[in-house]
Amino acid sequence: MAIPQRVIGDIGEFLAAKYLEEQGYFLVRYGKEMLKSDPLAHLKLNYEVCPDNGCGIDWEHDFKKWSEDDLRCLTREGAPYGKDFLFINFAVNEYIQRCWWYYNENNSLPHDGIKIRDLQKLGKIDEAERLKDENRAALNKFPGQGSHPGRYDFICFKAGQYLAVEVKVNNSRLSYWQSIRLGLIKKFGGNAYIIKIKLSKEDLSLCSKNKICNCSSLEMLPVDLDKIDSLPSDEEFLKIVRFSARHEAFQQQLTRP
């Protein structure tokens, strides 16, 4: 029986986290926990989970959330070159989120979310689903929509230095938004890495059967800006980061599946 791709990804993340811990890094899982899939129930790691709000992290003072005022103040003079990693991480997260807000202000969905909910309340499910499908088709025009928002896997810390790390297994590649996120972190002076792991069928079989979990190879490579051709200019970045969306209006407009 084939091992699901998501489980293969979890195995890769486990091996990468194990490697990073052995190198002395403290890890925070950025954005979500690893899957609680049965084949991986025996794989345990000691890392914290960063909430999905794109928080900055200060391990001496628990979790520190930056405000929009911080963002405006620190970007007033320009793009965040050479700023603290945690602020760069926050600013890049805000850029990606506001790309979505900006897109929706200029590309309204064909059907209002309130109208769809009203149809559902009236029992007109087929009509509501048709309108939702048309909204989904419109959403797919947003760049890289299938991969938004492109969170990477780990924030790592050692000896006063932070790293952003994404794990890729076998032929897996960075998504559109992962390349934007990691590329901007690197561009502004943060440390961004990709851990590439090769897993053979034998490796996968052993890992999924509660036996010793190893990989055929593991490389930790810095993000190469020369291989990312879609990064925004500083002017484009600041235009979006400084954009204030009518967020509640957008939430009413959208009805997710």
- Domains in the chain (CATH in brackets) are 5-65+148-236 (3.40.1350)
Burial class (CB in 10 A: 0-12, 13-18, 19+), 193: buried
Question: To the nearest whole percent, how much of the chain has pLDDT over 70?
Answer: 74
Among the ranges given (50-59, 60-69, 72-81, 188-197), the one the predictor scored with the smallest mean pLDDT = 50-59
Q: Per-residue pLDDT averaged across 96-115, rounded?
A: 81
**Model pLDDT for residues 201-228, shown as the tens digit of each residue:** 888 877 766 666 788 899 999 999 999 9
Residue 156 pLDDT level (bands cut at 50, 70, 90): confident
Higher pLDDT: 244 or 185? It is 185
End-to-end Cα separation, the chain, in angstroms: 30
Residue whose tokens read 């999905």: 52
Helices (H) and strands (E) in the chain, counts: 9, 8
Residue 74 pLDDT level (bands cut at 50, 70, 90): low
**Taking a C-beta distance cutoff of 8 angstroms, is the pair 208, 7 a contact?**
yes
- Residue 234 main-chain phi, psi, to 5 deg: -60, -40
Which CA distances in Å does 245 have to 73, 104, 111, 145? Answer: 18, 9, 19, 19
Question: Shortest CA distance to 184 belongs to which of 217, 231, 254?
Answer: 231
pTM of the model: 0.75
Res 185: pLDDT: 96
